[in-house]
Amino acid sequence: MIVSRRLAAGRIALFLGVAGITIIQGIASVASKSQRWSGHWANSSVVIGWAGVWGACIAAGATALILAAPRSRGYDDLLRASSRSQARIHLAGLVTVAAGSLAGYTVVTGYVAAATATSATHGGLDIIELLPTAASVPLAVGIGALFGRLAPPRIAPVAAAVAPYLIYMAVVYAEAYSGQIAYMDLLWTDQVDRTYLRLPAELLVSRAVLWMMLGVALLGLSLHASRLAYASAVVASLSAAVALLSVGTRIEVPAAYAAACSGEQPRVCVDRAHDHILPEYQREIVTSVQPVQGLELSTMVVVMDEHLAAPGADLPGSGPDARRVIVPIVKRNTSPAHEIDSATLTANVGFALFLAPCMARPTAADDVGLTTAAALYHWWLTSHGLPTDGTNFPGEPSLDSILIENEEAARTAGSFVRLVEEERQEWFSESTESVLTCTAVPAR
């Protein structure tokens, strides 16, 4: 009775340990890239797989730990002499690890679903996208069992914990060094953005079956269940064949490109894949253009990318002749992101209003319009408390360098700062057209 109670306590500790670490690392992994999925169901369904990169290592290490325990503690001979099969002896421990890992992924799924449900406007969790992550559990248990039985007992848990990551990175390296996009499609998790693209369902299902059956085969091999190992290996081979037929295939989602616009001024438009951030995008744009109140913005439509800025793009409520200003949504290393970074967006608004028109036409270094634009953008950044060294978003020019090289721009920036609020508003209301066409003459 005492033994069974201690055994049960040990199993509960193992379950909680595996589940707890899986949850912590899973939530940390997906939360650190929230700009890639928050509010978008298709991407939210995929990101749970990112928890499976380190999650597989945890399950494999825990499995190796319990399977190597008889050898490291010196009672392996007793188990070998038992009338029960090896599979039956270790079944409870293996099920505990698998259940802990699955419980961890379930909580991570719950976190992602809760975060997305608050803002998503359409769609739902894609169960098929979750299958490869679930399949990584038997794979990790199989790898752990193999190392737990064969590797030196003291080093078995660490070797097993490292192994799934090595497999993952070996495929990443194979893809990087071969230049093929196919290899990572075979893994139990991938980095393909689902905003405008989908992966075929047969690929997702076949790769899930491949990794699950490979795990079962390794498990069978480790526990002397040779028939199970053989049958699983055959199914895994067939699944690999099916998966290889569809690797590299991408299905475009045309509906994701459709425009969704707000009715307020200034008008803003995003595509349907980002319509969950439309109210916040509108709010941020309105807030950031407060300092340029004299600027006439009623004829302008703020759009999030070049696709919506193209003359042929249909923007509901706006005519084809409306001036389209691109203010991209950038957060960390993602554009278009599914979350808004307020500071980056403000810098992008200033760039779109003042400097972007100069990029649309050929300009010389001493062009008066360009000089004024640089001075205005410098004023914009400093008035919003943003850095002027070109670090607000990728591709931003360094205003510090420009003002050092162009003394006229530095003088213009200085004189613009010295204007009182009313003078600045008056100048903007007189110069709207010239500012938006990069032909403005500096205020004196």
The binding site for another protein (CB under 8 A) comprises 21, 24-25, 28-29, 32-33, 54, 57, 61, 65, 152, 154-155, 157-159, 161-162, 165-166, 169, 172-173, 176-177, 179, 332-333
- Write down the least CB distance from residue 62 to another protein, Å: 8
- Write down the least CB distance from residue 65 to another protein, Å: 6
Residues 6+ apart with CB under 8 A from 74: none
How many angstroms separate the CA atoms of 213 and 222, rounded? 14
Kind of pairing between the strands at 300-303 and 267-271:
parallel
Please say which residue, 173 or 230, places its beta carbon nearer to another protein. Answer: 173
Helix (H, G, I), strand (E, B), or coil: what is residue 324? Answer: strand
How many angstroms separate the CA atoms of 205 and 243, rounded? 8
How many angstroms separate the CA atoms of 129 and 116, rounded? 16
Please say which residue, 140 or 292, places its beta carbon nearer to another protein. Answer: 140
C-alpha pair distances (Å), 300 with each of 56, 65, 83, 296, 422: 51, 64, 81, 8, 23
- Write down the least CB distance from residue 290 to another protein, Å: 31
Please say which residue, 293 or 333, places its beta carbon nearer to another protein. Answer: 333
- Write down the least CB distance from residue 47 to another protein, Å: 12
Please say which residue, 60 or 373, places its beta carbon nearer to another protein. Answer: 60
How many angstroms separate the CA atoms of 27 and 47, rounded? 10
Please say which residue, 110 or 152, places its beta carbon nearer to another protein. Answer: 152
Tokens standing for residue 368: 């008066």
Please say which residue, 60 or 303, places its beta carbon nearer to another protein. Answer: 60
- Write down the least CB distance from residue 420 to another protein, Å: 40
Helix (H, G, I), strand (E, B), or coil: what is residue 331? Answer: strand
| β-bridge mates for residue 300, sequence order | 323
How many angstroms separate the CA atoms of 221 and 84, rounded? 17
- Write down the least CB distance from residue 32 to another protein, Å: 4
Among candidate residues 292, 266, 288, 298, the one with its CA nearest the CA of residue 431: 292
Whether 326 contacts 345, CB under 8 Å: no
Please say which residue, 191 or 237, places its beta carbon nearer to another protein. Answer: 191
Helix (H, G, I), strand (E, B), or coil: what is residue 378? Answer: helix
| β-bridge mates for residue 198, sequence order | 251
Helix (H, G, I), strand (E, B), or coil: what is residue 295? Answer: coil
Written as one letter, the residue type at 216 is: V
* CB atoms closer than 10 angstroms to residue 392: 23
Please say which residue, 61 or 132, places its beta carbon nearer to another protein. Answer: 61
- Write down the least CB distance from residue 24 to another protein, Å: 8
- Write down the least CB distance from residue 404 to another protein, Å: 25
